[in-house]
Amino acid sequence: MRYPSSHTDAGAKSALTDEYARAISDLKTVINGLSDEALCQIVDHETKDEDCRSIQTILSHVVRAGYGYAIAVRKWKGEALDYHDRQPLPTAADYAAALDAVMAYNELLFLDYPDLHLEEHNPNAKINVTWGQRYDVEQLFEHAIVHILRHRRQIEGFLRRMGI
């Protein structure tokens, strides 16, 4: 999505959303055509992280987190919102659609707040996120991009372990 030049940080916002969309697209390519059985298969029996046992649990985590970044910013801006619960989905196609919805939700944030500043140098004015860190908008979206990349890589490892 391109933002009008009248928007503050329009080029940086476009770069963030373009790279976010690319990360989502790459993840969707990895899961494209994955069988329902492979999606749900427990691959890591030893992890204590419930979000990392199967491709399904990873993708449920990625979708939930994807909404969570925009919700954190909206809450910081004063909106009264709740974070989404994990929603296991039955097919890879359902996750692809959910990832598209996540992308649209995150783009909507920048449309709803056209004057949203990306950088915040005052540590006391940064966004407090649920895992205890403090970010400005740019840092949070950079984290969101890398989050998808890390889990895409994890899923690729699972697929190798599964022989797919």
Q: Could you read off the pLDDT of 116-152 as tens digits, one per residue?
A: 999 999 999 999 999 999 999 999 999 999 999 999 9
Query: Which amino acid type is present at position 63?
Result: V
What does the CA dihedral 88, 91, 97, 102 come to, rounded to 10 degrees?
30
Domains of the chain, first to last: 10-161 (1.20.120.450)
User: What confidence tier does 5 reach under pLDDT thresholds 50, 70, 90?
Assistant: very low
Question: Taking a C-beta distance cutoff of 8 angstroms, is the pair 21, 103 a contact?
Answer: yes
Residue in the structure block whose two tokens are 């990832």: 99
Residue in the structure block whose two tokens are 């801006």: 77
